[in-house]
Amino acid sequence: MMDDGEDVIAAATEARKKWARSEGLKMWKQHGGKKVPVMTEEIIQALGIPCQEADLNKMEGVSHMDENGMAFIMLNRNLAPNRKRFTLAHELAHIALEHVSMDKSSQQSSSSQETEAHEFAGALLVPADDLKAFMKAGFKNLDQIAERYQVSKDAALIAVNRNRLFMKLRATAAATGIL
C-alpha cells in the first residue's frame, strides 16, 4: 500500500508522462505531416536542429545546448535503422521538453526525464490515433505494426499496451493461430 507521498509522486509522474506523450503527438501533427512512418530526420532538419553522426562508443545519442543556446544532437553512426529513428526521436524529445540547457550541471538527464523522452518518442513514432485506426481496419500483429511504423517489436508492443489495444492484438493472434 502506498502512502500519501507516494500517491502524489505517482500521480505527478503519470501526469508528466501523459504530457510528454501529448507533446510527441503534437510534434507529429505539426511537423510530421500526420504521415507514417514518421521521418524523424526530416522533422529535426525542419526545426533547424543540427544533427551529426559520430562513433559514440556505447552511447546511442546525446542532445546538448552549446554556449550560444543552440541545441544540437549527436547520434551514434553504428545504430540499426529502427534504433536510429527511435534515438533521434528520443533526443528530439529532450530538446522539445526543455531538458537541455546551457547549464553544464544539467546536461545529464534524470531518470524522470529519460522516461518522458521515451514517452514522447513512442507517441511521435507510433501516434495513438493512427495506431487505433490501423488496428481497427483489420487483423494486425506485432510484425505488421512494427513494419508500418518502422520500430522494433518491443516498441510496437509498448504502443499497443499504452493505447490499451492489447486485447485486440491478442484476439488477432488467437484468430490467426499465433497464440
Q: Can you give the residue ranges of every domain in the chain?
A: 1-123, 126-179
The whole-number pLDDT of residue 44 equals: 96
Helices (H), 47-101: 81-96
- For residue 76, the SS3 value is strand
Q: Does domain 1-123 correspond to CATH entry 1.20.810.10?
A: no
Find out whether 124 and 95 touch, Cβ atoms under 8 Å.
no
Q: Which residue has the cell 510534434?
A: 27
Per-residue pLDDT of the chain (179 residues; tens, 9 = 90+): 556 778 888 888 899 999 999 999 999 999 988 899 999 999 999 999 999 999 998 899 999 998 888 999 999 999 999 999 999 999 999 999 999 876 654 455 688 899 999 999 999 999 999 999 998 887 678 899 999 999 999 999 999 988 888 776 666 655 555 54
- The neighbour count for residue 43, using CB atoms within 10 Å, is 21
